[in-house]
Structure 1
Amino acid sequence: MEQYLYKLRLKAHFLERESWTQTEEEIISRHFARLKEYTEEGKVILAGRTLNDDDTGFGIVIFEAENKTSAEQFMRDDPAISEGMMEGELFPYRVALMREGKSR
């Protein structure tokens, strides 16, 4: 298996969380549930986001895939991307060091 990272950015008109409707809340809920499921299955190594809520904010997902094609498909299938809330950018990646233990 190869490792990949995709970087997520909210599209500009979704930066103000107060303007989200129930639809956007549901998309993000499905996005999070999917990442949680794949983390529990061992496919996702790490997922998280910066805490700044302006246009410099972003999230990352580090995961394993068989090849670039399957990695691209995995990224495109993320509800936040497939339903148009976020843009994703894929990179080949290799984890060099990782601490043991649980995250917060």
Structure 2
Amino acid sequence: MTTARLLACLLALVSLSTVAGSAADNTPAPAPSSAPQPPTKHFLIVLRLVPRLHDEKSWTDADKSAVGQHFKRLQAAVATGQVVLAGRTEEPLAKTFGLVVFSAADEAAAREFMLGDPCVAQGVMTGTLHPYGLALRAK
């Protein structure tokens, strides 16, 4: 399987796990807390492959492993409700980019989440963080 197909499959699985998780989740919502909760802030990470990985032949096993760890981390964050959406464009490696919309307490926590991504930490992808106003959301 080519690296581009591997990435596309991994990100498609994120989408499927989100749909399957929401369909299978029949647990009742917890009772509302009387303590005021801080407003949820949303952020957007734009992920891009580093230039050396624009050619599939340049991918090492370590690069592929980082993508697998990245995917597992996103799956876990979807399961907890932190990640709202994750995916990538379906373009050649030199043009593609990924998006992650997620919640965090503040910009420092959001930056920590981004920098803790295995692909960012291991130099497979670069990430740019943006505050994000989530206006509409599917239920």
What amino acid does structure 2 have at the position aligned with 1:7?
V
Deviates more, 1:90-99 or 1:5-14: 90-99
**How far apart are the structure 2 equivalents of 1:31 and 1:53?**
20
With a CA cutoff of 8 Å and minimum separation of 6, indicate the structure with the bigger relative contact order. Answer: 1
Q: Which has the higher helix share?
A: 2
Shift of 1:18: 3.0
Count of residues in correspondence between the two structures: 100
TM score, norm. by length of structure 1:
0.91
Q: Which runs of 5+ in 1 are unaligned?
A: none
Q: Deviations over 1:25-57 (max 9, x none)?
A: 100000000000000110000000001024221
- 1:33-72 aligned within 5 A: 33-72=72-111
Calculate the TM-score normalised by the size of structure 2: 0.69
Q: Which has the larger radius of gyration?
A: 2
Contact 2:53 2:93 in 1 (8 A): no
| Residue type at the aligned position of 1:61 | V
**Counterpart in the other structure of 2:71:** 32
CA contact (8 A) 2:49 2:93 kept: no
The residue number in structure 2 matching 1:92 is 131
Q: Does 1:74 align with 2:113?
A: yes
Residues 66-98 of structure 1: CA deviation (Å, up to 9, x unaligned): 000000000000000000011100000021122
Distance 1:43 1:91 in 2: 16
**Structure with the higher strand share, 1 or 2:** 1
Q: Structure 2: which 5+ residue stretches go unaligned?
A: 1-39
Q: Deviations over 1:7-33 (max 9, x none)?
A: 000010011223212111100000000
What is the deviation of 1:60? 0.5
